[in-house]
């Protein structure tokens, strides 16, 4: 067992001890999702910052708590036109977001003003979804500020 909490040590536990120690508390707060281990996690995560249904910036952060031998790097921010993220941007905006909206039954106008998705580099595919964040999207790239202000102004005047 390797808990994601920074500084945690890997442990070998019988299943019953793991359930008593970890699982009981986690299942109290909702379902637990088993995410496969990704050996490329040391290459960092990519965060796509959305204003409604458009990516307005990217973040890249190297490593996390699951890579104890490497110190966390800084989060770097990039504008939406960063060349090496354009294929990701096209797929996210044209395929992933419409699929997400269909799955949860929302229109582009009902999407959060500012939200993000975190991705890890995948093994057999380019990226692997790690999480979707809505309530704690800060800090975010400067490139998202103007589109966010415009979306808010449009919502307030509409």
| Range in 29-33, 99-103, 148-152, 153-157 the model is least confident about | 29-33
Query: Strand pairing of 45-51 and 114-121?
Result: antiparallel
Q: What pLDDT does 69 receive?
A: 61
Task: Give the model confidence (pLDDT) of 7-62 as tens digits.
Answer: 778 889 999 998 888 777 777 777 767 777 788 877 888 999 999 999 999 999 87
- Are the C-beta atoms of residues 26 and 4 closer than 8 Å to each other? no
Euclidean distance between CA atoms 119 and 117, whole angstroms:
6
Q: What pLDDT does 70 receive?
A: 60
Q: Which helix (H) or strand (E) holds 56?
A: strand 54-61
Q: 113: closest CA among 144, 148, 143?
A: 148
Euclidean distance between CA atoms 55 and 89, whole angstroms:
7
Task: Give the model confidence (pLDDT) of 94-127 as tens digits.
Answer: 999 999 999 999 998 899 999 999 998 887 668 8
User: Quick one: 4 exposed, middle or buried, by C-beta within 10 A (0-12, 13-18, 19+)?
Assistant: exposed
Sign of the alpha-carbon dihedral angle for 127, 129, 132, 133: negative
Mean pLDDT of 79-88: 95
**CA separation, residue 136 to residues 90, 140, 141 (Å):** 25, 10, 14
């Amino acid at each position: 067992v390797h808990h994601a909490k920074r500084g945690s040590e890997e442990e070998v536990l019988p299943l019953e001890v793991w359930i008593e120690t970890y699982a009981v508390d986690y299942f109290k707060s909702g379902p637990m999702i088993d995410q496969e281990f990704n050996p490329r996690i040391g290459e960092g995560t990519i965060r796509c910052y959305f204003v409604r249904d458009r990516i307005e910036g990217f973040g890249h952060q190297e490593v996390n708590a699951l890579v104890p031998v490497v110190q966390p790097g800084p989060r770097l921010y990039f504008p939406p036109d960063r060349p090496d993220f354009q294929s990701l941007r096209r797929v996210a905006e044209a395929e992933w977001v419409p699929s997400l909206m269909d799955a949860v039954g929302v229109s582009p106008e009902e999407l959060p003003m500012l939200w993000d998705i975190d991705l890890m580099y995948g093994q057999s595919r380019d990226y692997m979804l790690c999480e979707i964040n809505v309530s704690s999207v800060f800090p975010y790239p400067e490139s998202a500020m103007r589109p966010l202000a415009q979306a808010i102004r449009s919502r307030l005047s509409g």
